[in-house]
Amino acid sequence: MHTCRDCKRTFSTELELELHQDNCTDGQLFCDACGTRFAEAEATEDGWHYRCPDADCEGEGIGKDIHRVEDVRVQTL
């Protein structure tokens, strides 16, 4: 069993989980510094200041260390 750590949904295969994570609305941000994906609510309290939820990571700032998954996809196309 594979669990999406963002929304806690479970999937029977790793492939299903990976496909889901591309669309998971609870994991739409990621940190460039450590590569972690997380939900917006985990990274910000006021919707203005963003910080990586990983306690060991210094990543912060939307558009700096923290990016939206959908924006990155557009750039790579």
Q: Interface with Zn ion by CB under 5 A: which residues?
A: 4, 6-7, 24, 31, 33-34, 52, 54, 57, 59
Distance, in Å, from the CA atom of 74 to the CA atom of 1, rounded to the nearest integer, reads 31
The distance of closest approach from Cβ of residue 65 to Zn ion in the complex, given in angstroms and rounded to an integer, is: 7
Q: How far is the CB of 33 from Zn ion (least distance, A)?
A: 4
Cβ closest to Zn ion, residue 34 vs residue 47: 34
Min dist CB 28 to Zn ion, Å, is: 10
Contacts of residue 11, Cβ cutoff 8 Å, sequence gap at least 6: 1, 2, 3, 4, 17, 20
Q: What is the spatial distance between Cα 16 and Cα 71, in angstroms, rounded to a whole number?
A: 23
